[in-house]
Amino acid sequence: MSTIDDQAREPAVPKRDREATRARLLEAARLRFAREGYDATSVRDIARDSGVDATLIFRYFGSKKQLFDEASATDLPAGLLEGPQEELVARMVRTVVDHDWTKYGGEHPLVAMLRSSAHEDARRRIREEVCATYVNALRDLAEGEDAELRAELLSAWMVGIGILRSVVGTPALAEARAADLAPHVAAVATDLLGRPMSGTADREGGSSRT
């Protein structure tokens, strides 16, 4: 790792080049962590994939852990938590089966992070992402008793869809699109949330029904 004196002697790097290098490191880190997990990925792997020296990872991110935290932060698809409440589960399922997650190796980032679940920091990130993004929103929709439990069950079902599609590769789910799952999404979501739920969601933000 470079010392402060070493860095002080190095020529200044234009801001645009620093930002481009940092973005390239993040992109490489997302793919490596998604495909191989935290423990199996080294900073040298990421640096080699980016075509830079490994010392730049410590200069720009401080540590492998900080790089992982930033690389695994999920940018939610626009409108996921907006729009008609009865379409929320359908929108969530659509992010699992139809959204373009190329920068996370083609998988939903929560599924990708499961490869790092042996690491406590990764488990914390998964827990935070699942609770903040899915469980809390579904709990607020649930009617009747055991709202938290039913929200977690529905979240587990959606994560399971992602695992079977991209990790296990079961044939029917791997080929299915959101429209194929629509009637089942409506049935499961309606039953677990205790209120009528749609199996489809209008991509333009309007209302649609199954």
Q: What pLDDT digit, counting tens, does each position of 23-45 carry?
A: 999 989 988 888 888 888 999 99
Q: Are the C-beta atoms of residues 88 and 49 closer than 8 Å to each other? A: no
Looking at the fold, whether 113 and 189 belong to one and the same domain comes out as yes
Looking at the fold, whether 143 and 168 belong to one and the same domain comes out as yes
Number of domains in the chain: 2
> Residue holding tokens 């920091």?
121
Q: Is 7 a domain residue? A: no
Share of the chain above pLDDT 70, in %: 82
d(C-alpha 84, C-alpha 151), whole Å: 18
d(C-alpha 196, C-alpha 86), whole Å: 7
Instruction: Tell me the CA distances in angstroms from 132 to 29, 92, 111, 151, 155, one per residue in order.
Output: 23, 13, 16, 12, 11
Looking at the fold, whether 135 and 181 belong to one and the same domain comes out as yes
Looking at the fold, whether 93 and 119 belong to one and the same domain comes out as yes
- Where is average pLDDT lowest: 67-76, 140-149, 199-208? 199-208
Q: Any idea of the CA torsion for 105, 23, 11, 6, to the nearest 10 degrees?
A: -60
Note the pLDDT tens digit of each residue in 82-132.
889 999 999 999 988 887 777 666 667 777 677 777 777 777 777 877 777
Q: Which of 71, 97, 119 is the last residue of a domain?
A: 71
Looking at the fold, whether 89 and 189 belong to one and the same domain comes out as yes
Q: Is 208 a residue whose pLDDT tops 60?
A: no
Across the chain, mean pLDDT equals 82
> Residue holding tokens 């990708």?
112
Check residue 13 and give its pLDDT: 54
Looking at the fold, whether 40 and 99 belong to one and the same domain comes out as no
Q: Is 60 a domain residue? A: yes
- Residue-number span of the structural domain to which 101 is assigned: 85-193
Mean pLDDT over 75-88 rounds to: 81
Mean pLDDT over 178-198 rounds to: 96
Mean pLDDT over 2-12 rounds to: 47
